[in-house]
Amino acid sequence: MPKETFFNLPAGKRERIIEAALDEFSTYSFHKARITAIEDRAGIAKGSFYQYFEDKKDLYKYLMELLVEKKLSYINRDMMVNKEKYGFFQLLREVYLSGIRFAKENSRLVPIWMMLVTDRDLLQEIYGEHRDKSADFFKELLEFGKAKGELAPDLDVSLTATMLQSLTFSLIDLIIEDGKLDMDDMVIIDKMLDFVENGIKKRAQG
Amino acid sequence: MPKETFFNLPAGKRERIIEAALDEFSTYSFHKARITAIEDRAGIAKGSFYQYFEDKKDLYKYLMELLVEKKLSYINRDMMVNKEKYGFFQLLREVYLSGIRFAKENSRLVPIWMMLVTDRDLLQEIYGEHRDKSADFFKELLEFGKAKGELAPDLDVSLTATMLQSLTFSLIDLIIEDGKLDMDDMVIIDKMLDFVENGIKKRAQG
Amino acid sequence: MPKETFFNLPAGKRERIIEAALDEFSTYSFHKARITAIEDRAGIAKGSFYQYFEDKKDLYKYLMELLVEKKLSYINRDMMVNKEKYGFFQLLREVYLSGIRFAKENSRLVPIWMMLVTDRDLLQEIYGEHRDKSADFFKELLEFGKAKGELAPDLDVSLTATMLQSLTFSLIDLIIEDGKLDMDDMVIIDKMLDFVENGIKKRAQG
Amino acid sequence: MPKETFFNLPAGKRERIIEAALDEFSTYSFHKARITAIEDRAGIAKGSFYQYFEDKKDLYKYLMELLVEKKLSYINRDMMVNKEKYGFFQLLREVYLSGIRFAKENSRLVPIWMMLVTDRDLLQEIYGEHRDKSADFFKELLEFGKAKGELAPDLDVSLTATMLQSLTFSLIDLIIEDGKLDMDDMVIIDKMLDFVENGIKKRAQG
DNA sequence: GATGAATGAGGTTTCATTCAT
DNA sequence: AATGAATGAAACCTCATTCAT
C-alpha cells in the first residue's frame, strides 16, 4: 500500500506518477521496469518515489488493486444483483461487454496483469497464495444458468468456467491489439457468444 | 544459437545445462533469471556458460527453438498429412491430445513460453517481428473443416481460430497445474470438444 | 561528456575524482586502468563513478578535453594574435616555453596523451576520425615565417611542421622525465632553438 | 623467451604465429590484445599458445627482441664499423635510410614498439629497468662527428642525440602512415638531413 | 515534503591460463 | 605435441534504495 504521503499529493501529481508507472510496467516486465524511468517520466526527483511507496513491489501491488477496482466498476452492478430478471446469455453478454469497455479504457493494465499471471514467482511474491476470483465468478454464473434451465444440467461447471475465462482473455487481447481483426467490437462479441451457445458444428437446420 | 562447443559436449552435461536452464527460466522471468544460478545448478564453473552460449538471450532463444521442435514432434504427422481420411473434429481432437502430451512431458517449457508471449518487450527482443504460426495452423484446419462441410459455411475463420487457440492454452494450463481439476485428461478433452462442437446451450433433444 | 551530476559536485570532490583518474590513466594504459582503482583513490563508493560519467571512455574523453583546454591556456594568446610584432623564432620560442610550462604543471596528462596517440585503435574509439590540429598549428606558423622572410622560401612546410612537432614532443618528454638531462629548462629551449635555426653543421665563422 | 617447443615447430607454423601476433599487437594495446585472437588467426588450437610461450608477456618480449634484432640487421654494418671512411652526415644519412627500410618492411613492429615506449607501466613489466640504447647510439655518433670536426665543438651531445632520435621517430611514422606526405622517401630524407645540418634560418647566401 | 547525490549488492561478461584427453 | 573444454579471477556496469540537506 502506498504511504499516506502519496494520497496527500495533489491529484495531478498522483496521476502523473500512476501514468508513468503504467507506461513502464506495461512495457517492461517487473524486473526490467526501472523506478528511475518512472521518476523521470513523472517528473519527480530521483529518490522521491520512496516518499510515496515502500518499494517497487508496493507500487506494483497498488496497480493491481487499481485493476481489480476498475474492473469491477465496469460491470453493470444492477444486472448482476438482479440476475433473475435476465437470461444467462444476456448476463454473459454483459460480462463480455464490460470486459471490453474496461480493456479499451485501461489498455495498459492488461499487459501488466497478463505478465503477472504468467509469472508464478512474481505472483507468489505479490500475492502469497493466489486465489483466482475470476474463475469463481464464472462458476457462479454457470450455476445460475443451470438453475434457470438454460444450460445442460450435466455441464461441468469448473471446466466450462475455465474455458469461458480463457475466452475472455483472448477477447480482451483481440480488442487491445487493435486492428488484429477488423471487426466491430459488437460483432466480435456476438460471434463469440454464438460460439459459446452453439459451438461450431453445422446443424441440419443451419 | 549455441556455440559449437555446446554441441560437442557430452550429452549428459548438455542435458544438465538445459535442465538447469529450464528450471531457472520456468521459475523466474527472463530478467530475474540468473546465469549464475544456471551454472550452479548445472554444476559448471563461473563463466563457463559463455563457452556454450553467446549470452542469456542466446540460451533463451535456443530453449524456444527446442519448444517449437518438440511441440511439432508431438503431433501425429500422419494424420495431418492425410487430413482427408479424417473428420475435422477427429483432427481437432488429435491436436488437443498432442498438446496435452507435449505439455505433460515438457511442463517447464510452458510457463517459459507463456511469460514470453505476454512480455511484448521481450518478445520483440527475442524475435524482432513476431509471427503467430499457431493461429495460422488453426485457420488452415478450420478452412479444411468448412470445405468438408462439417462447419457452418459462414463461420468466421480468424476469430474462431483465435478462440480455439485460446482454449488450447487454457487446456494446457489446466493439465500442468495438475490437480486443479481432478478429471482424467481424456475426459477433459472430450468435454472441451463437446463445448466446441455444440456450445453450452441446452437443446430440445438433450 | 560527464553527466550533469559531475558538475554539481563540490569542487573538492570533483577534483579528487579527476586527480584519481589522472593517477590511474597516467600509470596504466586505457584498458589496464581500472574504474575501481579510481573510485578507491577518490574515496567514493563502488559504482558511484557511473553517477558522474557514462563509462570509462567518457571519463577518458573528458580528460583529453581538459588537456586541450589547458594546453591552449598556456600559450601567450597576445603573442599569437599579434604575430606581426614578433619574429618567427621569438614566436617559436614562446610556443616551446608554453609547452614546457604546461607539461611541468600537468605532468600526468602528457603520458596519457602519448599513450592515446600511439594507440591507433583507442584513438579511433575515442575520436572516430582523428585530425591532427597540432601539426596545422605549426604549418601556419611556418607560413608566417616564410612570409616574413625569416625562412627559406623553398622550405617544405608540411615536413618541417612534422619535425617541429616531433621536437616538441621530445622536449616535453625530456622535461617530464625530470633529471634525464640536468640542464635548466631555458638552456634546453635555447639549444633546441639554435638547432632549429642553424642545424648542427659547423660553419666557417663558428 | 619462447619455450623450446616453439623453435621445434615447422617454420611455416612458427611464422603464422608470429604474423598473427604482430597483427594483434599492432592493432591493440597489450592489454586489449587477445591470445585467443592470435590463436584463431594463426590457426592453432585454443590453448596451444601455452605450449610455445610462457604467457602473453613472454610473447610480447620475444616480439621486442625480434624488433631489435631486425632493426640492427638493417644498418649497414660495414659503414658503422669503418666509420672513419665516411663523413658524419653520410653516416647519419645511412642511419635514416636503414630506419626507413626497416620500417617499410616491418611496419607492424613500429606501432607495437611505440605503444610500449609510451606505456611506462608496461615498459617496466617487460624490461624492468629500461635503458635507452637508441639514444646511446646517437650520442656515440655525435661524438664521432665532433672528433671529426664536422660539428661544433660545444654542441650538447645528450640533447642533440635526443632530438635526432625524436626526428627518427617522426620520420618512421611518416613513412608508415603511407601517403601522409606524397614525397619520395629519398626526398624526405634529404630534406630532413638538410634541416639537421643547416636549420631553417634563411641565410645571406640562400 | 522535496531533492538529488551516495551507496553497495549483485549481475553479466571477458579472457588468460590450466587441464584432461 | 595438439586439442579444446574448464576454470575462476576480475572487470564493468546497473539500479533499488538510503541519506543528508
Q: Look up the CATH number of the domain holding residue A135.
A: 1.10.357
Residue A198: phi and psi, rounded to 5, are: -115, -5
Quick one: pLDDT band at residue A171, thresholds 50, 70, 90?
confident
Q: Do C169 and D174 touch (CB under 8 A)?
A: no
Comparing every residue's Cα with the C1' atom of nucleotide E8, the nearest one is C46
Q: What is the mean pLDDT of chain D?
A: 89
Q: How far apart are CA C149 and CA D192, in angstroms?
A: 21
Please indicate, yes or no, whether residues B42 and B141 belong to a single structural domain of this protein.
no
Which residue in chain D has the smallest CA separation from C120?
D27
CA distance to partner chain A, nearest, from residue B128 (Å):
15
Contact residues on chain A for B162, CB-CB shorter than 8 A: 170, 174, 181
Quick one: pLDDT band at residue D180, thresholds 50, 70, 90?
low
Q: Report pLDDT for B34.
A: 97
Across A23-27, A63-67, C127-131, C163-167, least confident range: C127-131
Q: What is the largest CA-CA distance in chain C?
A: 69
Q: Does A186 touch chain B (CB under 8 A)?
A: no
Q: How far apart are CA A181 and CA C147, in angstroms?
A: 79
How many CB atoms sit inside 10 A of residue C32's CB? 18
Average pLDDT of D162-189? 81
CA angle, residues A44, A46, A51, in degrees to nearest 5: 75
CA distance to partner chain D, nearest, from residue C53 (Å):
22
Q: How far apart are CA C42 and CA C48, in angstroms?
A: 10
Q: Which residues pair with A151 in a beta bridge?
A: B201
Between D50 and A76, the more confident residue is D50
Comparing every residue's Cα with the C1' atom of nucleotide F18, the nearest one is A47
Q: Residue C185 falls within a domain, yes or no? A: yes
Between A7 and A170, the more confident residue is A7
Please indicate, yes or no, whether residues B92 and B9 belong to a single structural domain of this protein.
no
Q: Residue D93 falls within a domain, yes or no? A: yes
**Cα B130 versus chain centre, distance:** 16
In three state form, how does the secondary structure of chain D look?
A: CCCHHHHHCCHHHHHHHHHHHHHHHHHCCCCCCCHHHHHHHHCCCCCCHHHHCCCHHHHHHHHHHHHHHHHHHHCCHHHHHCHHHCCHHHHHHHHHHHHHHHHHHCCCHHHHHHHHHHCHHHHHHHHCCCCCHHHHHHHHHHHHHHHCCCECCCCCHHHHHHHHHHHHHHHHHHHHCCCCCCCCHHHHHHHHHHHHHHCCECCCCC
Helix, strand, coil percentages (3-state) for chain B, rounded to 5, are: 70, 0, 30
Q: Report pLDDT for C181.
A: 64
Average pLDDT of D146-158? 89
How many CB atoms sit inside 10 A of residue D154's CB? 8
Please indicate, yes or no, whether residues C12 and C79 belong to a single structural domain of this protein.
no
Please indicate, yes or no, whether residues D181 and D97 belong to a single structural domain of this protein.
yes
- DSSP 8-state class, residue A83: G
Give how far Cα B136 sits from Cα of B127, B131, B159, Å: 17, 9, 11
Q: Which three cell numbers stand for residue B154?
A: 459462414
**Is the model's pTM score more than 0.85?**
yes
Which residue, chain included where needed, has cell 611496419? D107
Asked whether residue B3 carries a pLDDT value surpassing 80, the answer given is yes
Q: Which residues pair with C201 in a beta bridge?
A: D151
Q: In a mutagenesis test of the D interface, which of C136, C190, C202 is the best target, namely the one with the most D β-carbons within 10 Å?
A: C202
Quick one: pLDDT band at residue B178, thresholds 50, 70, 90?
low
Across A165-179, A180-194, B192-206, D37-51, least confident range: B192-206
Q: Residue C33 falls within a domain, yes or no? A: yes
Q: How far apart are CA C107 and CA B30, in angstroms?
A: 49
The closest nt to C50, taking CA to C1', is: F13
Contact residues on chain A for B110, CB-CB shorter than 8 A: none
pLDDT tens digit sequence for C102-142: 988 899 999 999 999 999 999 999 988 777 788 889 999 99
Please indicate, yes or no, whether residues C191 and C91 belong to a single structural domain of this protein.
yes
CB-nearest partner of C181 from D159, D170, D197: D159
CA distance to partner chain B, nearest, from residue A53 (Å):
22
Q: Chains near A, with 3+ CB pairs < 8 A?
A: B
User: Which domain covers residue C157, as residue numbers?
Assistant: 67-198
Q: Report pLDDT for A180.
A: 65
Please indicate, yes or no, whether residues A85 and A154 belong to a single structural domain of this protein.
yes
Quick one: pLDDT band at residue B152, thresholds 50, 70, 90?
confident
- Domain count for chain B: 2
pLDDT tens digit sequence for D1-34: 899 999 999 999 999 999 999 999 999 999 999 9
Q: Report pLDDT for C131.
A: 74
The closest nt to D45, taking CA to C1', is: F3
- Strand F bases near protein CB (under 7 Å) are 1-20
Q: Which three cell numbers stand for residue A174?
A: 483481440
Across B139-143, D56-60, D173-177, least confident range: D173-177
Kind and range of the H or E run holding C169: helix C157-176
Asked whether residue A205 carries a pLDDT value surpassing 60, the answer given is no
CATH number of the domain residue B26 falls in: 1.10.10.60
Q: Report pLDDT for D206.
A: 42
Which residue, chain included where needed, has cell 511469460? B115
Q: Do A192 and B32 touch (CB under 8 A)?
A: no
Q: Residue B42 falls within a domain, yes or no? A: yes
Q: Whole-number Å distance, CA B47 to C1' F9?
A: 10
Residue A101 and residue A73 in contact, taking contact as beta carbons nearer than 8 Å: no
- DSSP 8-state class, residue C102: H
Q: Residue C97 falls within a domain, yes or no? A: yes
Between D134 and D167, the more confident residue is D167
Q: Report pLDDT for D133.
A: 77
Q: Report pLDDT for C206.
A: 42
Give counts: helices (H), strands (E), chain B: 12, 0
Q: Which of residues 29-88 of B touch A (CB under 8 A)?
A: 29-32
Residues near C34 by beta carbon (within 8 Å), at least 6 away in sequence: C24, C28
Find the distance separating the first CA and the last CA of chain D, reported in whole Å. Answer: 55
Q: Residue C14 falls within a domain, yes or no? A: yes
Please indicate, yes or no, whether residues B75 and B174 belong to a single structural domain of this protein.
yes
Residue D20: phi and psi, rounded to 5, are: -60, -40
Q: Which three cell numbers stand for residue C100?
A: 614546457
Across A1-15, B177-191, D78-92, least confident range: B177-191
Q: Residue A206 falls within a domain, yes or no? A: no
Please indicate, yes or no, whether residues B106 and B158 belong to a single structural domain of this protein.
yes
pLDDT tens digit sequence for C5-49: 999 999 999 999 999 999 999 999 999 999 999 999 999 999 999
Across A109-118, B17-26, C60-69, D182-191, least confident range: D182-191
Contact residues on chain B for A152, CB-CB shorter than 8 A: 200, 202, 206
pLDDT tens digit sequence for B90-144: 999 999 889 888 988 898 999 999 999 999 999 999 988 777 778 889 999 999 9
What single string gives the DSSP state of each residue in C101-112?
A: HHHHHTTTHHHH
Please indicate, yes or no, whether residues C48 and C127 belong to a single structural domain of this protein.
no
Q: In a mutagenesis test of the A interface, which of B201, B203, B205 is the best target, namely the one with the most A β-carbons within 10 Å?
A: B201
Q: Which three cell numbers stand for residue B67?
A: 519448444
Q: Which of residues 103-162 of A touch B (CB under 8 A)?
A: 111, 114-115, 117-122, 145, 149-153, 155-156, 158-160, 162
- DSSP 8-state class, residue C117: H
Q: How far apart are CA D42 and CA D45, in angstroms?
A: 9
Residues near D104 by beta carbon (within 8 Å), at least 6 away in sequence: D175, D176, D185
Residue A63 and residue A25 in contact, taking contact as beta carbons nearer than 8 Å: yes
Q: Residue C179 falls within a domain, yes or no? A: yes
User: Which three-class secondary structure state does DSSP give residue A201?
Assistant: strand
Q: Report pLDDT for B180.
A: 64
Please indicate, yes or no, whether residues B42 and B111 belong to a single structural domain of this protein.
no
Please indicate, yes or no, whether residues D96 and D44 belong to a single structural domain of this protein.
no
Average pLDDT of C181-197? 84
Q: How far apart are CA D132 and CA D122, in angstroms?
A: 15
Q: Report pLDDT for B206.
A: 42
Instruction: Provide the phi-psi class of A128: left if phi over 0, else alpha when psi is between -120 and 50, else beta.
Output: left
- DSSP 8-state class, residue B20: H
Asked whether residue A146 carries a pLDDT value surpassing 50, the answer given is yes
Residue A57 and residue B55 in contact, taking contact as beta carbons nearer than 8 Å: no
Q: How far apart are CA C6 and CA B202, in angstroms?
A: 73
User: Which three-class secondary structure state does DSSP give residue A151?
Assistant: strand
Q: Which three cell numbers stand for residue D184?
A: 619520395
Q: Report pLDDT for D181.
A: 65
Quick one: pLDDT band at residue A38, thresholds 50, 70, 90?
very high
Please indicate, yes or no, whether residues A168 and A146 belong to a single structural domain of this protein.
yes
For residue C6, the one-letter residue type is F
Q: Do C118 and D122 touch (CB under 8 A)?
A: no
